[in-house]
Amino acid sequence: GEDVKPFTPEKAKEIVMSLQQPAVFCNMVGDWPALQWNAKYLSAVLDGKTIQFRLGQKMVDLVPQFETRCSYVQATLEEFLAWSCGHPCLSGPFSCYEYSKYWAYADYKYIARIFEDKPEVFQDIRWSDFGFPGRSGKESTLWIGSEGANTPCHLDSYGCNLVLQVQGRKKWHLFPPGDTSFLYPTRIPYEESSIFSKVNVANPDLKQFPKFRNTTAHVVTLSPGQVLFIPRHWWHYVESIDPITVSINSWIELDADHEARVEEAITRMLVCAIKSAENPSDGDCWLNPTEVEATSHEINLQYLNKAVSAYFKCQKASVSEQASSSSTGTEQRTGASCKRRKREASCEREGCRLATQEFGFSTFKAENLQEIPFGPHLIQVLPQTRETSLMGAAAVESDRRDLLHGNEGGHIGKLHCSREQLVMSNDCETPEHQMDSDGNPNTSQTALSTNDLLDCLVNPRVISLVARLLLERTSV
C-alpha cells in the first residue's frame, strides 16, 4: 500500500511555526527523489561542472575556522570524490591539500544556480509535505562535505531552518537564544544575516571564554532521511562525521524577519563605515567571502530606509488584515527564503505579525510543549546534562593545559594569551612596555582595537534596542 506520512502538511507546518526548540522529523521524506542525491549521483548530474570548495585544516585549534581563514578551490565533484578516497592527488585542484590534514566543503550552494540548466531537478525536493506549497529545490541550498567539514558556530538573523540529511551523518551542536551572551557574539568576519560566536565550541578555550561554561548544548547526530528543524535564532555548529556528507536545507521566512532586516541594515552601516575607515594595509580580512564587497554609506543608507519602509508596510498590512480576519484567525504566510539575499524588495510580505522578545533574544520557554506530538516521528533534541557538559569542558581544559606545557614554541591559537606563553598575534600581543612589574598586562595602557569597539556597538542586544528606538522615531 501507499506510504502514509506521520504528519499532514498542515500539521507539519503547525509544528514548525509553533515549536521553539529543535526537533527531528522522521519518516516524512521517504518518497522524495532527492534521497538519491548522493555525491556520486550529483557528480553524474553536474557532468563536469565545477563548484567552489572551502578547505580547512583538521588540526585541533582553539579558534573557530571562519571562512576568512580557509582556502578555496574550484573543482568538479568527480575530483572531490577521488580526493576524499584518501589517494594522493599529484595534480588537479586538491593536489596541494593532503586528505589526512584537510577537509573540503562545497557549502551554501544555491540549487537554483548550480542546476540552472536542469530546472526539472527542483521538483526532487518537496517542502510542500511540510506545509509550504510551491517550495522546492529552487528555494533550497546544497551542502557537500568531507569528514571534518564544519561551519563555525553562528545564528541566522532571518527565519527558521529545515535541513534534510541525504548522505552520511552530521553532528549538530545547538544552543538556545538565551545563551547568546555566553557565546561571545561577534560580527567580524562580517556577513549579512549571520552572527558568529568567538568560541570554537568543539574545542573551547575556557580561560579566554569562561562564560561558555553556562551554555546549554543540545546535540544531535542527523542521519540520512531525517529532517532537522532549527527554530529562529538558535545557535548551531555543524560538523560532518562521515567520509562524505550531503545535505539540503531551506530557510523559512518569518514575520519577525522584518524587524531583523532593520537590525541587519543598522549593523551593515556601522560595520562598513568603521572598518572601511581603517588603513587597508593592516590586512584585516573582516569581510566574509560570501560578501562581495563593502558597500558604500549611501547604498547602506538606502538599504536601511527600504528595510524601515518594508517594516511599516508590513505592520500596516497586519493591522488591516487583523481587522478583517474571521474569528479563526488568518493563516501565517511565508515567502521564498534566501538567507544571504541582500537588499531585496521581496522582504515586503502580507500577513505579518511581529514576534515580541526582549532585545531580540528571549530565553527559551517550553510553552505548549504538551500539544506537540513528540514520539518516534518527531524527536526532541534534548539538552545535554550539566554533568556531561562540565565533564566535556574539564577534558578540554586539561587538553589545553597539555598543549600549553607540551608544545613549546608551537601554534596554540591566536586568541590565547597566558603568562606562561605569549602567542604573537594582532589580537593578543602585549608589548613589553605595557606590562606591570609583576608581568601582568597593564589594563590602563592596553590598546583597544576597532573590533573590540564593534563587538560592543553591534552586539545583538544593542542593535535590537537601536532598531526599536529608530522605528519609534520614524513612526512619530
Please say if the pLDDT value at position 364 is more than 90: no
> How many other CB atoms are found less than 10 A from the CB of residue 418?
14
| Mean per-residue pLDDT, 166-175 | 98
Inter-CA distances, 183 with 239, 258, 442, 454, Å: 18, 25, 26, 16
Alpha carbons 173 and 153: distance in angstroms, whole number: 8
Note whether 252 and 457 are within 8 A (CB): no
Segment 371-390, tens digit of pLDDT:
899 999 999 999 987 555 54
Least confident of 10-14, 204-208, 314-318, 346-350: 346-350
How do the domains of the chain map onto residue ranges? Answer: 9-254, 255-318+457-475
**To the nearest whole number, what is the mean pLDDT of the chain?**
83
pTM for the model stands at: 0.82
For 323, residues 6+ apart whose C-beta sits below 8 A from its C-beta are none
pLDDT digits (tens, 9 = 90+) for 178-220: 999 999 999 999 999 999 999 999 999 999 999 999 999 999 9
pLDDT score, position 370: 63
Fold exhibited by the domain 9-254: Jelly Rolls (2.60.120)
Tell the burial category of 456 from Cβ atoms under 10 Å away from its Cβ (0-12, 13-18, 19+). Answer: exposed
Mean pLDDT value of segment 330-338: 42
**pLDDT class for 366, splitting at 50, 70, 90?**
very low
